[in-house]
Chains A and B, each alone.
Chain A
């Protein structure tokens, strides 16, 4: 019996909790991608770098607060910095829209052209981030690191396996729940949210019924900036901030959005968790897990790992390909906001 509990604790510690956390981060990112796709109608390749940009400012404000001695007690100072970073990111998004994307939207360029333009924005954002903060790995989490430490858990329960819960993991999950519920409330209940959904469904009809496109676009960018800041900062708090990692997050985030059904916010959420769980489940080594469950004679002598962690990308990509083959619209039907 204890063996079974040990095995379950082991799984929750190394699979369940990390996957929920990572899934939340992906879901927040995929929501941004999907909203841009649904309303502005292009695949934004600059999104990974937008997240890096937002996180850069979270870090800068965190450093500033730390330098003047403000802290948030047991919580990371970065939480205080996020609202300020959101403001900077919103301004940045609105400026890029004014200078770059707006022109193509008014000209009604094909979405592939706008995606190409987003490559240019990606280069520029990439450069700005690296010029401001450099390409290095940075950790900016402070405050209490753990809610439950592995040792404490072991003493508490008398089990062999420890369960460590990092405060950043809980924060990620809690904040994701808050942000996502606010977003859905906004999209489904408020008048502005409904007008955005109408605009995404049918642009011309929405214009006919008097919805101002400029306002819809502006609010879209504001929402995207908020999502990007949360996604980027929470990922950075939980792991670490490195501009290149954020760039590579583009693939799992896009995969989440497409797997769930691009243009569909609920789909983005589902896609984020599907990708995160499959990445972690497939790359986890189950040797110890089986050692608890199976009798000694059957104990595996290999790692029992389906794929090494180096192939994390391959997992999200394979899921993407399978979904494209079996159900090209995504798990939930795409393109309805």
Chain B
């Protein structure tokens, strides 16, 4: 217990910070911070699997998050029947062509020895295949996007409950990670970084511009929720009773019945948003706990020990007969899948999918700051890092405003102050950068360092 004291203490401090926000700002706001902390925690666990367990430098977290988000759309939105009628067959055909290209290339690679002739034939297969695919694909896209573009204009999804997308998101991310890993793992470690940076930009570009898939920058809004809607809650009796019971003491002080009705109504509206966010928090907490248990089990299993051995001394592990590249590929896929879950959770929570909002600073590099600050190699550290950094990220802007007002004379408006206030959003980049640099320098193992149990 004493060994874990600092961990418990760190989490208690984090929790009390959120409670303080609840008391001083509002509970609804505090809960939305908590929810995003939990989502960030899932992302940091994914990155921690890659970096902390295996030392893989993945700078494409944004792409895997977005894939998770795409899964949320494709699973939950009802299918658009007209679009399937006009373009569905051609879309399936072009998908089949692409699969055929991949299979053909694999066949050629397996069947013939390396030669110029092989390279040329592979190129020919890819080029010809892509041209055919484009001829089928182009008209289909046009006809799909023409179907009431203001509301649909895409193929739609499966119309299943959105919760399923958390698994599908993991699958999507894992699939892409497999392809990327196959190509770049085994080359120099920096190449993985550049390759992931590239693939994430491409994923975002595809999501932004392929309207038939998920409406592109026109966004998909109003995704179905896994939890009740505020409007419905405000009309259900048990919820109103619950709110009355919860606030009975303060309500008793009001004598006038009409005033009391008014107060209850107000409380019910506030309560409904808090209740919805609590439901989300519960769902997210379940995911975090399940993943945490799995991660801990994996980390302290023979497999986890092998991964750490590979991370700390690749050559020695190789000499002991461990297939480093294969294990790296496994762990890269696993970590990316967890990030994909987080992406699906994020879109579920927002209720909308906006490809334009995916920015590398927020969705890739901020996650890195979280992992490094929290403590790479330690799941509790990574989760804490996710919470702390998200909290700072949100509260940095109000804090910066407060400081600027403190140091410049109040009330006075001069150009310098106006400029500072205008650039408040960028102070948080400064804080994040400084935080990362200071931690890397003075506490390179993070707030909660990695602990290796020797058995």
Residues of A whose CB lies within 8 Å of any CB of B are 43, 45, 100, 103, 111-113, 115-117, 119-128, 130-131, 134-135, 247-248, 250-251, 254-255, 258, 262, 302, 308, 310-311, 313-314, 316-317, 320-321, 324-326, 328
Q: Once the chains are docked, how many angstroms separate the CA of A103 from the CA of B438? A: 12
B300 CB to closest chain A CB, in angstroms? Answer: 25
Known: A112-B57, A115-B57, A116-B440. A313 touches B432 (CB 8 A): no
A137 CB to closest chain B CB, in angstroms? Answer: 16
Contacts of B57 in A (CB 8 A): 112, 115-116
Of B360, B429, B437, B441, the contact of A127 (CB 8 Å cutoff) = B429
- Is B202 a contact partner of A317 (Cβ separation < 8 A)? yes
A300 CB to closest chain B CB, in angstroms? Answer: 13
Q: Once the chains are docked, how many angstroms separate the CA of A248 from the CA of B197? A: 10
A1 CB to closest chain B CB, in angstroms? Answer: 31
Query: Contacting chain A: which of B2-10, B17-25, B346-354, B419-427?
Result: B419-427
Contacts of B420 in A (CB 8 A): 131
- Is A124 a contact partner of B202 (Cβ separation < 8 A)? no
Known: A120-B437, A122-B365. A308 touches B191 (CB 8 A): no
- Is A247 a contact partner of B360 (Cβ separation < 8 A)? yes
Residue of B nearest to A103 (CB): B441
Contacts of B205 in A (CB 8 A): 310-311, 313-314
Contacts of B440 in A (CB 8 A): 113, 116-117, 120
Known: A43-B194, A310-B205. A130 touches B426 (CB 8 A): yes
Q: Within residues 401 to 455 of chain B, which ones have a CB less than 8 A from any CB in chain A? A: 420, 422-423, 426-430, 432-434, 436-437, 440-441, 444
Is the C-beta of B71 less than 8 angstroms from some C-beta in chain A? no
Of A111, A326, A328, the contact of B187 (CB 8 Å cutoff) = A328
Residue of B nearest to A310 (CB): B209
- Is B429 a contact partner of A124 (Cβ separation < 8 A)? yes
- Is B432 a contact partner of A123 (Cβ separation < 8 A)? yes
Contacts of A123 in B (CB 8 A): 361, 365, 369, 429-430, 432-433, 436
Residue of A nearest to B423 (CB): A131
Question: What band does the interface of chain B fall in when counting residues whose beta carbon is under 8 Å from A?
Answer: 35 or more
Is the C-beta of B199 less than 8 angstroms from some C-beta in chain A? yes
* A-B contacts, 23 listed (Cβ < 8 Å): A43-B194, A100-B441, A111-B190, A112-B189, A112-B190, A115-B193, A120-B433, A120-B436, A124-B429, A126-B426, A127-B427, A127-B429, A127-B430, A134-B423, A247-B361, A250-B197, A262-B190, A308-B209, A311-B202, A321-B183, A324-B191, A325-B183, A326-B119
Contacts of A130 in B (CB 8 A): 423, 426, 429
- Is B201 a contact partner of A248 (Cβ separation < 8 A)? yes
- Is B191 a contact partner of A122 (Cβ separation < 8 A)? no
Residue of A nearest to B438 (CB): A120
Contacts of A45 in B (CB 8 A): 59
Is the C-beta of B368 less than 8 angstroms from some C-beta in chain A? yes
Contacts of B199 in A (CB 8 A): 317
Q: Once the chains are docked, how many angstroms separate the CA of A126 from the CA of B430? A: 8
Known: A126-B361, A130-B423. A119 touches B429 (CB 8 A): no
B57 CB to closest chain A CB, in angstroms? Answer: 5
Is the C-beta of B198 less than 8 angstroms from some C-beta in chain A? yes
CB < 8 Å A-B pair total: 126
Residue of B nearest to A315 (CB): B202
Contacts of A317 in B (CB 8 A): 195, 198-199, 201-202
Known: A112-B57, A120-B440, A308-B209. A126 touches B433 (CB 8 A): yes
Is the C-beta of B32 less than 8 angstroms from some C-beta in chain A? no
Known: A317-B202, A324-B191. A124 touches B426 (CB 8 A): no
- Is A122 a contact partner of B433 (Cβ separation < 8 A)? yes
Q: Once the chains are docked, how many angstroms separate the CA of A128 from the CA of B433? A: 11
Is the C-beta of B55 less than 8 angstroms from some C-beta in chain A? yes
Contacts of A116 in B (CB 8 A): 57, 368, 372, 440
Contacts of A255 in B (CB 8 A): 194, 198
Is the C-beta of B224 less than 8 angstroms from some C-beta in chain A? no
A112-B190, A131-B430, A314-B205 are known contacts; what are 13 more A-B pairs with Cβ within 8 Å?
A43-B193, A111-B190, A113-B440, A119-B369, A122-B433, A123-B361, A124-B437, A125-B433, A127-B428, A135-B426, A251-B198, A251-B201, A313-B201
Is the C-beta of B330 less than 8 angstroms from some C-beta in chain A? no
Contacts of B426 in A (CB 8 A): 126-127, 130-131, 135
A122 CB to closest chain B CB, in angstroms? Answer: 7
- Is A115 a contact partner of B119 (Cβ separation < 8 A)? no
Residue of A nearest to B441 (CB): A103
Contacts of A100 in B (CB 8 A): 437, 441
B266 CB to closest chain A CB, in angstroms? Answer: 39
Is the C-beta of B143 less than 8 angstroms from some C-beta in chain A? no
Q: Once the chains are docked, how many angstroms separate the CA of A122 from the CA of B422? A: 21
Most chain A beta carbons < 10 A, residue from B199, B201, B441? B201
Residue of A nearest to B186 (CB): A328
Contacts of B369 in A (CB 8 A): 119-120, 123
Is the C-beta of B234 less than 8 angstroms from some C-beta in chain A? no
The 10 A-B residue pairs whose C-beta atoms are closest, nearest first, are: A123-B433, A124-B433, A120-B436, A317-B198, A127-B430, A127-B429, A120-B437, A130-B426, A131-B423, A43-B190
Is the C-beta of B327 less than 8 angstroms from some C-beta in chain A? no
A284 CB to closest chain B CB, in angstroms? Answer: 16
When each residue 43-83 of chain B gets 1 if its CB lies under 8 Å from chain A and 0 otherwise, what string results?
A: 00000000000010101000000000000000000000000
- Is A112 a contact partner of B197 (Cβ separation < 8 A)? no
